[in-house]
Every structure is written in structure tokens, then in C-alpha cells.
Amino acid sequence: MKEATLYKAFQDGRVECTACARRCKLSDGQYGFCGVRWNLGGKLYLMVYGKISAIAVDPIEKKPLYHFNPGSMVLSFSTYGCSWACQYCQNFDISQRRVLEGFEVTPEKIVELAETYGTQGITYTYNEPSIFAEFAYDVGILARKRGGYSTHSLLTDT
């Protein structure tokens, strides 16, 4: 877990999460709708920082992008939880599971894996990535610094 950056704290101990448009207002001890952001003692924590539910190498054409680096491969990963509850979600076993589980992995390891598999970018996908924005941000910054990772992007896969 890691303290979130995308939130506002109030003097009465509540917090307002600003990671997605739901803007959950949470009392001490409450989780947001996504099930992975938690008010603990007046601070908001991302409980799935460094915990991934799925990881795979995908062709960029599998993503909802149009003519974005055609022919390239991306390393895709997700956490559990979601800010949506779509009945047609094909990844419902990942997105609708409100559990704080996952394989432990650092941003550095994800970037290393992307290099090892010869991908050109990293994609946050399978669930709605805004719920783990702080984790995605750290991975993206690191990927950029290592060069050749211009295709990482925030998007949702279906």
C-alpha cells in the first residue's frame, strides 16, 4: 500500500478521492467504490500499489487506439478493482473482484519485464487504470526514463 496523491483531506477526517469522476467521499475506515482506495486515519491509501492481477504482452491493435504505433507490442497489466460496474465487462473476474490480492511487483520490475519481452510500451488495462493512477504514474515515469517507451498510455481494454 502507498499513500495516494490524488485526494483532498478534510479536518473532520473524511477524504475526497480525486482519482476518478466518482469523487468518493470517505470517512475513516471506508473504501471507495473501486474497493482499492482506503481512508485510514484521515489519509487515503492505494491498497494495490505494486499488486498486479494480470500481465501479458499484447499487440497494440488489441487496445482501443487507432493507428497508434501499429505493429508494436505492449506490456499490459492490471490490478483488481474498478470504478465501473459494467455488466458486459469481459474482465469481470479482475475488475469486479474487491480484493487486495495480486502478485507483488515493483515499477522497476515491470519496466524490466517490458524490456525483456522486447515491447515498445506499457499499458494499464483490463480494469480502469485511474483507480491505480499513482502506481501507473511511477511505472510510466520510469519507463520514459529508460527510453523507447513512448507508447505507454492510460486506457481501458475490453
Distance of CA 135 to the CA centre of its chain: 6
Q: Tell me: does residue 48 bind ligand SF4 (CB under 6 A).
A: no
Q: Which of residues 57-86 bind ligand SF4 (CB under 6 A)?
A: 83
Q: Return the beta strands (E) in the chain as ranges.
A: 2-3, 7-9, 15-17, 25-26, 37-40, 43-46, 51-52, 54-59, 73-78, 103-104, 121-124, 153-154
Residue least distant from ligand SF4 (Cβ)? 32
Choices 27-35, 52-60, 69-77, 149-157; region in contact with ligand SF4 by CB under 6 A: 27-35
Q: Tell me: does residue 32 bind ligand SF4 (CB under 6 A).
A: yes
Binding ligand SF4 (rule: CB under 6 A), the pick from 15, 17, 114, 142 is: 17
Instruction: For ligand SF4, give the closer residue by CB, 121 or 129.
Output: 129
Euclidean distance between CA atoms 139 and 55, whole angstroms? 14
